[in-house]
Chains A and B, each alone.
Chain A
Amino acid sequence: MGNIWNHLKSAPPTAIFGLVVIAVYVFVAFFAPVLTPYGESEIVGAEYEPWGEGFVLGTDNLGRDMLTRLVYGARNTVGIAFATTCLAFLIGGAFGLLATAMGGWVDQILGRIVDVLMAIPTLIFALLILTILGTAIPVLIIVIAVLDSTRVFRLARAVSMNIVVLDFVEAARLRGEGTGWIILREVLPNSMPPLVAEFGLRFCFVFLFISSLSFLGLGLQPPTADWGSMVRDNATLITYGDITPLLPAGAIALLTIGVNFVVDWFLHKTSGLRDEH
């Protein structure tokens, strides 16, 4: 514990800012029902009420409380983005490491499948699949995770390629160790830093991707609160010089920046450690 505290104390202000932002988002997402005055999809007033008494941030196009929707949006958008990223890393990381450890035709086949998936523009591909399969949340998570896992696959493969040629891996092979041991005990622990950094970045991309899908109408479906669709639903207000629709966009931007600050700090720390060896 003391060690973590020491790292935090030496963290640059940007990283501390990022950590605080993430902590606030997580807190808000967890305690959404306690923090909000109304229900998630409860219609509580007239449409487009201005900021003020009763509705701190006004109401939306259906008369739902904006603040409440924003808070629930954190829970939905962030939660789903997190689940999707985890799944993407599980798929991409596992196959990427498998490709390096096995080599040969396993590597070739996996690589070509990924090439095919990556050759199709992600957004269009996602729109296509979601149109066919519908937009239930599990489908959404799996589709985005599979599409994003291609990037993770490439990174995991590239990173572990450099590790798998090192002498200690050769020593393990010559000892007669199986592929499982080589992946889990020899290669994976040494490819963690870049993968963790990528996790942060990937999380942002997934997050933005879900928001854009929602904005286009194929992401999270109403009445679920989601920042992407909230921007779209209230877009008309922008014409009148009202900044309310930009609040969810701002929430997305702030989290993205926060996560990136933390990732930068982490990358800097791990690369610094590498210099010492």
Chain B
Amino acid sequence: MSTSAEQTSNGDLLLEMRGLRIEGQSEGGWQEIVKGVDVTLRRGEVLGLIGESGAGKSTIGIAGMGFARPGCRISGGTIVFDGMDLRAASDEQLRKLRGSRIAYVAQSAAASFNPAHKLIDQYTEAPIQHGIKGRAEAEKDAMDLYRRLRLPDPENIGFRYPHQVSGGQLQRAMTAMAMACRPDLIVFDEPTTALDVTTQIEVLAAIKDVVREFNTAAIYITHDLAVVAQMADRIMVLRYGDLVEEGNARDMLADPQQDYTRQLLSVRSYRKQEAPPDKSEVPLLEVRNVTASYGGTVKVLEDIDLKIGRGRTVAVVGESGSGKSTLARVITGLLPPSEGAVLFDGEELPASYKKRTRNQLRHAQMIYQMPDTALNPRQRISDIIGRPAGFYLGLAGEARETRVRELLEMIELDPDEFIDRFPGELSGGQKQRICIARALAAEPELIICDEVTSALDQLVAEEILKLLQRLQDDLGVTYLFITHDLATVRAISDEVVVMLQGKVVEHGGRQDIFTPPHHQYTDLLLSSVPEMDPDWLDNLLAERAARKARGEAVMESADQ
């Protein structure tokens, strides 16, 4: 915990924040969201800030640039960057600093690039603005950096518009942009959170190299301990705006001092007991030779065959664009397939949900990825959960309220406290629980879970997975689990279906899928999941390079 204090005497100190306090505006006035945190950063050092949402990690990272988001204010402490007091600095001084000596890489590159300008025009803006380089020189420099960040076709990619390159490429282009003025410090705010695992590797490796090469100091903000283990020299674990633990990355991973850190470390270790195989002859759900497309001729799904047995959890895993969500849309009837059929309990379902009977609709319920948009913000919890109970099962008045209370208890929320609330008054995890209760209210046999944990913090996500598992044990529901997160698959599935470009490439029991030999693509997916070992990324890349050198086929991310 005290390593930083000893190192502050070093002459290469770059950023020092002492007793940092930041307040955020809420309905009852100002509330402290960062409660006196000390941060020190030396030149060339990478500091990982880790914590769940609301821990204040982004707020602290941005404060390192002397900035507070609208609705926030820095209320106490000092921020000294390279001998300059940022809190006392004028706007003009800060403007000179930002972009040239301190840069920022945001979570969503797609939202942070201006869609109306070419990448290279946005790259050259900062160097020209700050008078560091001329246009021609800056362009040449851009191509050089694009090459270093391993972007394909570095001479020409800059002349594309943001929508013409993929998400992983865009994130690297944004990193290049941040490097444009060779800043002393870059703040990375969850730069890979929105990317697929296979793409994430490339971006992580590129960032790691380029930061090391230019000896740039970095603050790396993330909620994923395995990712930060690859990137950071030192890690600060934050919770509720307070420091939990700070230390050298390797030491902390090997020997965490605090319970909370230990919890974060063990978060991916949950495993379910395998459900007994379905003994009945007819599977609960059968997808037979389904081919589907959105209007055009490009097939999003091609000849999909799938059987799901009663009481089982089948995980469909794949990257974005693999067609896994489209499969859910076909099963629910939102997208009628061009060929093939969906059978429920041996009986063919009408292709469109509009033609299905109320009972057919009742049996397959859906839980969505974003609990924020899945709940009507203007309805009370009692109505949200009560409606399906009333709609399908005819419950009304007292019976309906009793049922809602029962469901709330099932999802471990206190009925008296929650029944009259609006969704806006709940946390993300609580909202997802309400979504589960709404699905259960219909008393379905099948629940389709579309990335239900990916918008949640890891600890919360694990609670949700455990809850889903308990409900399966109690009620015998069947889950179709759509996800890109292999840790979730490992935790909860009985069977795994691996999808790539609209086709099923592998289907088998969890054990079979996770033990070699795999299909080539499964191998790529599995090996790309970050592990807590700080050397994991380097080893993995070395191994892949070695295999390539030996002339073995190595599958690469489509995003490359």
- B353: Cβ under 8 A from any A Cβ: yes
Min CB gap B119→A, angstroms: 29
Closest to B329 in A: A170
B346-401 interface with A by 8 A CB criterion: 353, 356, 358, 361, 366, 368, 370, 372-379, 387-388, 391-392
Kindly list chain A residues whose C-beta atoms are within 8 Å of the C-beta of B546. none
With A175-B388, A176-B358, A177-B391 known to touch, is A170 a contact of B377 (CB < 8 Å)? no
With A174-B366, A175-B361, A177-B391 known to touch, is A167 a contact of B71 (CB < 8 Å)? no
Closest to A272 in B: B71
Kindly list chain B residues whose C-beta atoms are within 8 Å of the C-beta of A185. 376, 379
Report the Cα distance A185→B376, complex, angstroms: 9
Q: Which of B71, B333, B373, B442 contacts A166 (CB 8 A)?
A: B373
What are 11 of the A-B contact pairs (CB < 8 Å)? A167-B368, A167-B374, A168-B373, A171-B366, A171-B368, A174-B361, A175-B388, A176-B361, A177-B391, A189-B376, A190-B377
- A198: Cβ under 8 A from any B Cβ: no
Q: Which of B334, B377, B424 contacts A174 (CB 8 A)?
A: B334
CB-defined interface of B56-99 with A at 8 Å, one 1/0 digit per residue? 00000000000000010000000000000000000000000000
A165-202 interface with B by 8 A CB criterion: 166-168, 170-171, 173-177, 185-186, 189-190
- A275: Cβ under 8 A from any B Cβ: yes
Q: Which of B71, B333, B377, B442 contacts A275 (CB 8 A)?
A: B71
- B332: Cβ under 8 A from any A Cβ: yes
Interface residues on A, range: 10 to 19
A residues lining the B interface (CB < 8 Å): 166-168, 170-171, 173-177, 185-186, 189-190, 275, 277
Kindly list chain B residues whose C-beta atoms are within 8 Å of the C-beta of A167. 368, 370, 373-374
With A174-B353, A175-B388, A176-B361 known to touch, is A190 a contact of B376 (CB < 8 Å)? yes
Min CB gap B86→A, angstroms: 25
Report the Cα distance A189→B375, complex, angstroms: 13
Kindly list chain B residues whose C-beta atoms are within 8 Å of the C-beta of A175. 361, 387-388, 391-392, 442
Contact A189 B378 (CB under 8 A): yes
Kindly list chain A residues whose C-beta atoms are within 8 Å of the C-beta of B358. 176
Min CB gap A176→B, angstroms: 5
Min CB gap B359→A, angstroms: 10
Report the Cα distance A98→B159, complex, angstroms: 44
- B324: Cβ under 8 A from any A Cβ: no
With A171-B368, A174-B353, A175-B391 known to touch, is A190 a contact of B334 (CB < 8 Å)? no
Top 3 closest pairs, chain A to chain B, by CB: A189-B378, A167-B374, A167-B368
Closest to B378 in A: A189
Report the Cα distance A171→B374, complex, angstroms: 7
Kindly list chain B residues whose C-beta atoms are within 8 Å of the C-beta of A168. 373-376
- B503: Cβ under 8 A from any A Cβ: no
Min CB gap B436→A, angstroms: 13
Closest to A173 in B: B353
Kindly list chain B residues whose C-beta atoms are within 8 Å of the C-beta of A277. 372, 377, 424
Q: Find the residue from A176, A190, A275 having the highest chain B CB count within 10 A.
A: A176
Contact A170 B334 (CB under 8 A): yes
B residues lining the A interface (CB < 8 Å): 71, 332-334, 353, 356, 358, 361, 366, 368, 370, 372-379, 387-388, 391-392, 424, 438, 442
Report the Cα distance A202→B484, complex, angstroms: 48
Report the Cα distance A173→B375, complex, angstroms: 13
Contact A174 B376 (CB under 8 A): no
Closest to A166 in B: B373
Contact A190 B378 (CB under 8 A): yes
Kindly list chain B residues whose C-beta atoms are within 8 Å of the C-beta of A173. 353
New A-B pairs, 12, CB < 8 Å, besides A174-B361, A186-B376: A167-B373, A168-B375, A171-B366, A171-B438, A174-B333, A174-B366, A175-B387, A175-B392, A175-B442, A176-B358, A185-B376, A189-B378
Report the Cα distance A48→B333, complex, angstroms: 75
Kindly list chain A residues whose C-beta atoms are within 8 Å of the C-beta of B370. 167
Report the Cα distance A167→B358, complex, angstroms: 19
Kindly list chain B residues whose C-beta atoms are within 8 Å of the C-beta of A174. 332-334, 353, 361, 366
Closest to B358 in A: A176
Min CB gap B453→A, angstroms: 16
Kindly list chain A residues whose C-beta atoms are within 8 Å of the C-beta of B388. 175
Kindly list chain B residues whose C-beta atoms are within 8 Å of the C-beta of A171. 366, 368, 374, 438
Closest to B356 in A: A176
Report the Cα distance A186→B379, complex, angstroms: 8
Closest to B70 in A: A275
Report the Cα distance A174→B446, complex, angstroms: 14
Kindly list chain A residues whose C-beta atoms are within 8 Å of the C-beta of B368. 167, 171
Closest to B442 in A: A175
Closest to B435 in A: A171
Kindly list chain A residues whose C-beta atoms are within 8 Å of the C-beta of B392. 175
Closest to B424 in A: A277
Contact B366 A176 (CB under 8 A): no
Report the Cα distance A185→B377, complex, angstroms: 11
Report the Cα distance A68→B377, complex, angstroms: 49
Min CB gap B420→A, angstroms: 16
Kindly list chain A residues whose C-beta atoms are within 8 Å of the C-beta of B334. 170, 174
Kindly list chain B residues whose C-beta atoms are within 8 Å of the C-beta of A166. 373-374
Kindly list chain B residues whose C-beta atoms are within 8 Å of the C-beta of A177. 391
Report the Cα distance A147→B374, complex, angstroms: 37
Report the Cα distance A49→B528, complex, angstroms: 91
Q: Find the residue from A171, A186, A275 having the highest chain B CB count within 10 A.
A: A171
Q: Find the residue from B391, B392, B442 having the highest chain A CB count within 10 A.
A: B391
